Amino acid sequence: MPALISPVAQTDQARAALPALTMPLEEAIETQRSMRRLTPDPVDDELVIRLIELALKAPTGGNQQNWEFVVVKDRALKERLGRLNRAAWRIYGGFGRVAMRDRPAMLRILDAVDWQAQHFAEIPVVVVACLRGMRLPFPPLAASSYYGSIYPSVQNLLLAARAAGLGAGVITLPLWSTWLARRALGLPWNVTPCAVVPLGWPRGRYGPTTRRPAGDVIHVDRYGHQPYRQTR
Residues 85-123 have pLDDT tens digits of 999 999 888 888 888 888 888 888 888 999 999 999 999
The DSSP string of 21-62 is: ----HHHHHHH------B------HHHHHHHHHHHTTS--GG
- pLDDT for 96 equals 83
- pLDDT for 144 equals 84
Between the CA of residue 214 and those of 25, 52, 159, 210, what are the distances in Å?
19, 30, 21, 12
C-alpha closest to that of 58 among 127, 157, 128 = 157
Going from the first residue of the chain to its last (232 residues), give the mean pLDDT of each consecutive group of 10, the final group possibly shorter: 50 68 92 94 95 94 89 97 95 85 87 93 97 82 85 96 95 95 95 96 87 94 94 68
- pLDDT for 5 equals 43
Spatial contact of 127 and 72, defined as CB atoms under 8 Å apart: yes
